[in-house]
Chains A and B, each alone.
Chain A
């Protein structure tokens, strides 16, 4: 032993690990084989349905009745409805561009270089203005298209982005308010948060869309879309505030005391010491809330907006396409998957990045 030339730990061969974990007993082996068979069958069936035996173009639609695979003709023929909803046909380029701008803004704000209040606010102001001008028009010779006619992917992404960007700062304020040293303030914020968390999102959106017009003066009402986004953002913020608060709670009190003795002000301690650590502490929950929110955007259908899921239903709603709803839903699921999966992977990347030096 004393003469061992290396100090590296012994390496365990992969085959050994596999054998240990999957084939250690006859029963274990049986379970492994059955599970493998199950997944291979499922995967093969899906690949065959989606890619091998499938029909792809609009013209080939008559072949679909004979085919055993998916009939992607419906997507080929109706994808514009799915992506753009009721947006006027000849203006679809505007919606496409607006989508690209919004996605670019979201991606840019995920890059650490942009993480300062000044840069982020500039970025989002630019992003939203460009989006609005493109979608709404009325400037630069673009025809006016009111939000009732916005739809599809552009609307889904817009609602998600707007809810996040209004909801995030609000959630921080709510979380800090609930932790205030003044009992009255803490109670009030606590009540506010718990009130909105106790209501179904549906109720909040319905109230925002249908009931608030009776309560608010005309100049404060804004468009139905903005009221719905405001309601959604408050709902989001109340949940996110609790995630952030959990993260704040986990910070040892000594951190704030160290900041105090260095002479840092409340705002400086919050932005430099507390929030960075709170975000790190509850990152999984925070990302989870974004994921849920992206998927929940589909609920705005209820108050009359054609986000991507509703536009999808419209896509197979007429004529010969009615039988191909499965293809449409699979297609929309794939779109959701791309966004939500990217979001989750980004969350995992952040966790790795923020864990630097924390063992």
Chain B
């Protein structure tokens, strides 16, 4: 649970963040603040740096200039800081990244027992609670390879939730799914949003963005080009690049 004293500290503050892959400038002067409990949707063309941006927030990537502050702790090379952040920030990947050699339940309890030091029994109980929440408790003894994509992604969400994160990051969670499975995952995400989870979602699901986002951010070529409330963003985009992008994804 969030301390009362914590709730006015922004969940994420990025100030003048720059990152390069070799000499490719992938993030350019990123300034972004995410308030506690806020839901931010990030969109933009492929290769614009969306994944890189949210991977920087959980330190899967290093940034080279600027500062990133998560829940009041600065992300620098201090190992203790990084560990602390990683325990509070959950991440859901496009490719699910479930551990194929463990059952669904073991996927969820692994970090509970190793990181949170729960007993086997406690961990099982917590994991089952979250598997119920994503409506998949009956699959707990199966292996990820035996589940559909939508089921796997819901397990991945449950696995993150088990760690009781303050912030949940999503990197195109529905992009690898067959169309008929997208809504079962989005439903779970909507439910989470309604409970007040702080969320940063990279997604092109515009219905989802309209429904839950407090703010939509548009990225192009490593820059935040435009940000606005979903209503304004979709109905009155200001920037030419945003207009072009929206016309492309709304075409069909």
Contact = CB atoms under 8 A, between A and B. Distances in A.
Top 8 A-B pairs, shortest CB-CB distance: A357-B143, A262-B111, A258-B97, A254-B97, A261-B91, A263-B87, A357-B145, A263-B115
B146 interface: yes
Nearest to B114: A268
A65 interface: no
A356 B141 CA distance: 12
B127 to A, nearest CB: 13
A256 to B, nearest CB: 9
A357 B146 CA distance: 6
Contacts of B241: none
B100 A262 contact: no
Which of B58, B86, B87, B163 neighbours the largest number of chain A CB atoms within 10 Å of its CB? B86
B143 A257 contact: no
Contact of A262 (B59, B110, B143, B144): B110
A258 B144 CA distance: 14
B100 A357 contact: yes
B90 interface: yes
A273 B110 CA distance: 10
A257 B93 contact: yes
Interface of A: 252, 254-255, 257-258, 260-264, 268, 272-273, 276-277, 280, 354, 356-359
Contact of B93 (A254, A354, A356): A254
Contacts of A264: 110-111, 114-115
Interface residues of B, number: 30
A51 to B, nearest CB: 46
Interface string B88-119: 01110101011111010000001100110000
Interface in B137-165: 142-146, 156, 159-160, 163
Contact of A358 (B100, B114, B115): B100
Contact residues of A: prevailing secondary structure:
helix
Interface of B: 58-60, 83, 86-87, 89-91, 93, 95, 97-101, 103, 110-111, 114-115, 142-146, 156, 159-160, 163
Contacts of A254: 93, 95, 97
A262 B115 contact: yes
B67 to A, nearest CB: 21
Nearest to A357: B143
Contacts of B160: 261-262
Contact of B86 (A263, A272, A354, A357): A263
A260 B143 contact: no
A331 B59 CA distance: 62
Identify the interface centre among B59, B60, B93, B100: most chain A CB within 10 Å of its CB: B100
A255 B144 CA distance: 13
B95 A261 contact: no
B17 to A, nearest CB: 19
Contacts of B93: 254, 257-258
A185 to B, nearest CB: 18
A262 B159 CA distance: 9
Contacts of B115: 262-264, 268
B163 A257 contact: no
Given A264-B111, A277-B100, A357 B163 contact: no
